[in-house]
Amino acid sequence: MTLDVVILAAGQGTRMRSATPKVLHPVAGKPMVRHVIDTAMGLGADRLHVVIGHGAERVRERLAGCPLRFVVQAEQKGTGHAVAQALDGLGDGKVLVLYGDVPLIRHDTLSALLDAVDERHMALLTVTLADPTGYGRIKRNARGEAAAIVEHKDASEAERAIT
């Protein structure tokens, strides 16, 4: 089965208060998005798609030489919209969506996540945070399964209590 990896790298990173695109900030000597790309390549990805927007040309320049397909998200309309920009280049196998600003994601974590995916099942990696301010919330059904994702800015008070 083939593996396409979509790396979301279009956001501004306004919380970083920098003119540099968030994914280009260095971590351990290289842009944080490069750590994500290296991890994805280590998974044996058949195709890597990087969704770019804010600072697109700078991101392209810094990643020149990497075996990537760049996809432009002209307007930043959220995560779902960003992924949709890559749809026409995806194969028929597994699709892994990663954020370009999570450089410490581990190969073993993603490998286990992919092992949980087959023709009938998808998987979602979540985290519990003491203070999830600014992050989306995973709403779960009575069986504890993910039922919806609500962005922080759209969340009700009860939804914001989800950690």
Burial profile 73-105: b = 16 or more Cβ within 10 angstroms, e = fewer:
beeeeebeebbebbeeebeeebbbbbbbbebeb
Catalytic residue positions, numbered: 15
Residue 14 tokens read as 């306004």
Dist CA 134 CA 142 (whole Å): 25
Per-position DSSP letters for 66-83, written without gaps between them: S--EEEE-SS---HHHHH
Q: Is the dihedral of CA 89, 91, 92, 95 positive or negative?
A: negative
